[in-house]
C-alpha cells in the first residue's frame, strides 16, 4: 500500500467491545478467603465486586469475547481487519502470542497479529502502535484489545493484593480517516521508569528467575509496594495528562471525559481534584470490575458508551499507568461508525 500525505491520513476510534467472565466474586467472598472486610475494601479501593475467569478460560477466550462483541456492534467483517494487537501481561502461553489465537477464534484468519506488554499501560501503548501504523499507511483497519486474566497470577492468600485484581477484556476499532484535522486520535504521551520495576512485579517465572518445583507460590504471583505505586499513579496521571493537553494546545476544560486506568477510586478522586475536572467527568466502573490491567480502559470506555455518556464528538482523555513502571495517555475525539 502506498502512503499518501501524512497530514491527511488520520486514525479514528470508531467502536468498542467488552467481555467479562460470568463468575462474580464479591467482597463477602473475599472475607471468606483472607482477613479483610467489605468496609476496608470499599473505603480503601472503591471495589465492591469483580469478575473471575472460569477454570477453562484463558486470556484468548476473554479477548475473543470482546472482539466478537465489537464486530457485532460495529458491523465490521472480521476479514476487513488488517491488524490485531492484544495488550496483555497474562498471555495463554509464553509462546505463541495470544493475538494470532484470538484472530483465528474470531475469523480473522491471516490478520497481522501480535501481543504487546506494558502492564496496565499496555492498551495505551497498543493504541499508539496502531495509530502510527494507520497514519503511516501500513494498515487501514485495526482492532486493539486489552485483555488480562490476573486471577491466575494473584496470590489468594495475600490480602494486600487479592482484593484489587480481576479478569476481563475490552477492545476498540481504529480505522483510517481522510477527514479534517482535529478529528480522531489527537495525540499520545507515554514513558517509563524501570528503576521502579520491583514495586509491582511477579518475581519468578521469567528468564531471570525461572519457576521451579521449589519456587514458593507467592513468588509466581503479583507482589506490590502499594504505597509506592499509589504515589507514582497519582503523580503520573496528572503529569502525563497535562503534557498531552499542552502538546495538543488544549486544556482540561476542553475534555468531556477522563477514562483513566481503574486501579483505585482514591486515585481517581485525587486526579479529579489535582486536574481541576469535575468528578462526574472522571469515569469509574472499578466498583463492579476491579483492576483488570490492560482491559481496564476499554472496559471503562464500553461502560460509558453503554450508559450513553460517551457522545459522538466527545473529547476523551485516556490515561494508563502501572508496572514497569510505565504510563501512557491518549487524547481522542470519539467518532463512532455510522
Ligand atoms: N483488608 C484489611 N486490611 C488490609 C488489607 C485488606 N485487604 N490490605 C492491607 N491491609 C492492612 C495492612 O496490613 C495495614 O495494616 P497495619 O497498619 O496493621 O500494618 C493497613 O491495612 C494499611 O495498609 P496500607 O498498605 O498502608 O494501606 P493503604 O491505605 O496504602 O491501601 C492499597 C492499600 C493497596 C489499597 C493502596 O496502597 C493502593 O491502592 N495502592 C495502589 C495499588 C494499585 O493501584 N496498584 C495497581 C496499579 S496498576
pLDDT by residue (tens digit) across 35-61?
999 999 999 999 999 999 999 999 999
Determine the distance separating the centroid of ligand 1 and the alpha carbon of 164, expressed in angstroms.
10
Report the sign of the C-alpha dihedral through residues 69, 80, 3, 338, in that order.
Answer: negative
The residue whose CA has the least distance to atom 20 of ligand 1 is 160
Domain boundaries, given as residue ranges, for the chain: 1-338
The residue whose CA has the least distance to atom 10 of ligand 1 is 160
Nearest atom (ligand 1) to Cα of 321: 48
- Write the Ramachandran bin of 149: left for phi over 0, alpha for psi from -120 to 50, otherwise beta: beta
Cβ(45) – ligand 1 distance below 6 Å: yes
Nearest 10 degrees: CA dihedral of 225, 330, 64, 74? 150
- The sheet that has 257-260: what strands, in order across it? 185-192, 326-333, 315-322, 257-260
pLDDT at 2: 31
Q: Which CATH superfamily is domain 1-338 in?
A: Thiolase/Chalcone synthase (3.40.47.10)
Instruction: Report the candidate in 147, 135, 34 with the shortest Cα–Cα distance to residue 85.
Output: 147
- Calpha distance 320→255 (Å, rounded): 17
Q: Which of 226, 234, 262, 325 to mutate to test ligand 1, by most ligand atoms within 8 A of the CB atom?
A: 226
Q: Show which residues are catalytic.
A: 120, 261, 291
pLDDT at 3: 36
Which regions of the chain are under pLDDT 50?
A: 1-6
pLDDT at 85: 98
CA distances (Å), origin 38, targets 44, 140, 234: 10, 47, 24
Collect all residues with Cβ–Cβ distance below 8 Å to 72 and sequence separation of at least 6: 17
Cβ(16) – ligand 1 distance below 6 Å: no
Amino acid at each position: 500500500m502506498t502512503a499518501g500525505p501524512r497530514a491527511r491520513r488520520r486514525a479514528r476510534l470508531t467502536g468498542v467491545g467488552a467481555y467479562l467472565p460470568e463468575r462474580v466474586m464479591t467482597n463477602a467472598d473475599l472475607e471468606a478467603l483472607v482477613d479483610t472486610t467489605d468496609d476496608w475494601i470499599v473505603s480503601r479501593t472503591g471495589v465492591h465486586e469483580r469478575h473471575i475467569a472460569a477454570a477453562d478460560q484463558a486470556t484468548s477466550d476473554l479477548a475473543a469475547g470482546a472482539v466478537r462483541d465489537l464486530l457485532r456492534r460495529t458491523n465490521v467483517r472480521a476479514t476487513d481487519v488488517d491488524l490485531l494487537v492484544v495488550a496483555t501481561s497474562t498471555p495463554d502461553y509464553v509462546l505463541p502470542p495470544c493475538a494470532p489465537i484470538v484472530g483465528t477464534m474470531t475469523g480473522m484468519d491471516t490478520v497481522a497479529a501480535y501481543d504487546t506488554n506494558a502492564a496496565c499501560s499496555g492498551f495505551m501503548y497498543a493504541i499508539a502502535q496502531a495509530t502510527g501504523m494507520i497514519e503511516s499507511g501500513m494498515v487501514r483497519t485495526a482492532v486493539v484489545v486489552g485483555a488480562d486474566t490476573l486471577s491466575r497470577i494473584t496470590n489468594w492468600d495475600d490480602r494486600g493484593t487479592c482484593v484489587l485484581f480481576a479478569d476481563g477484556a475490552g477492545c476498540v476499532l481504529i480505522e483510517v480517516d481522510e477527514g479534517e484535522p482535529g478529528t480522531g486520535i489527537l495525540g499520545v504521551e507515554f514513558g517509563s521508569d524501570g528503576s521502579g520495576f520491583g514495586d509491582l512485579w511477579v518475581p519468578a517465572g521469567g528468564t531471570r528467575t525461572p519457576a521451579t518445583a521449589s519456587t514458593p507460590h507467592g513468588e509466581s504471583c503479583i507482589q506490590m509496594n502499594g504505597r509506592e505505586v499509589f504515589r507514582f499513579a497519582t503523580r503520573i496521571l496528572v503529569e502525563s495528562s497535562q503534557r498531552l493537553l499542552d502538546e495538543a494546545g488544549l486544556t482540561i476544560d476542553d475534555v468531556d471525559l477522563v477514562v483513566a486506568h481503574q486501579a483505585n477510586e482514591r486515585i481517581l478522586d485525587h486526579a479529579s481534584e489535582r486536574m481541576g475536572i469535575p468528578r462526574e467527568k472522571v469515569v469509574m466502573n472499578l466498583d463492579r470490575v476491579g483492576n483488570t490491567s490492560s482491559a481496564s480502559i476499554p472496559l471503562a470506555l464500553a461502560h460509558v458508551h453503554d450508559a450513553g455518556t460517551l457522545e459522538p464528538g466527545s473529547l476523551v482523555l485516556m490515561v494508563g499507568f502501572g508496572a514497569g513502571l510505565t504510563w501512557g495517555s491518549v487524547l481522542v475525539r470519539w467518532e463512532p461508525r455510522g
